[in-house]
Amino acid sequence: MKKCKACEKTVYPVELLSADGLPYHKSCFKCSHCKGTLKLGNYSSMEGVLYCKPHFEQLFKETGNFNKNFQSPVESAEKLTSELHFAFANASSLIIPNGGS
């Protein structure tokens, strides 16, 4: 018997849904981000992780690639803040005072 990729339980033929060559229960075939039920025509996957089309596209827009996970708005802001602090710290060492050579 085949085991569901999502829950690791046995998948019987009547409840089998096969996506990317992997077996799933129809009820386990969900977006990993919003938990919305997926259909074969409206899902995307990356490295075995299932997404609905909108969240797959959002992941790309937020990260610039499909290899990262979603970040919460707080994590995104913290990362940006630390990057800006680093950039300003490095830029201040490049500033030459007036009259300096």
CATH topology of domain 1-29: Cysteine Rich Protein (2.10.110)
Please give the DSSP secondary-structure letter assigned to residue 32.
Answer: T
CATH number of 31-93: 2.10.110
Query: Helix, strand, or coil here: 90?
Result: helix
Q: What's the rounded Cα separation, in Å, for the pair 88 and 98?
A: 19
Across 52-84, b (16+ Cβ under 10 Å) vs e yields: beebbeebeeeeeeeeeeeeeeeeeeeeeeeee
Kindly report, residue by residue over 11-62, the tens digit of the pLDDT: 999 999 999 889 999 999 999 989 999 999 889 888 788 999 998 888 877 7
pLDDT of residue 78: 54
Domain with CATH 2.10.110.10 in the chain: 1-29
| Segment 73-83, tens digit of pLDDT | 444 455 555 55
Rounded to the nearest angstrom, the gap between the alpha carbon of residue 13 and the centroid of all alpha carbons in its chain is 30
pLDDT of residue 1: 83
Please give the structure tokens belonging to residue 19: 């996506």
Whole-prediction pTM value?
0.59
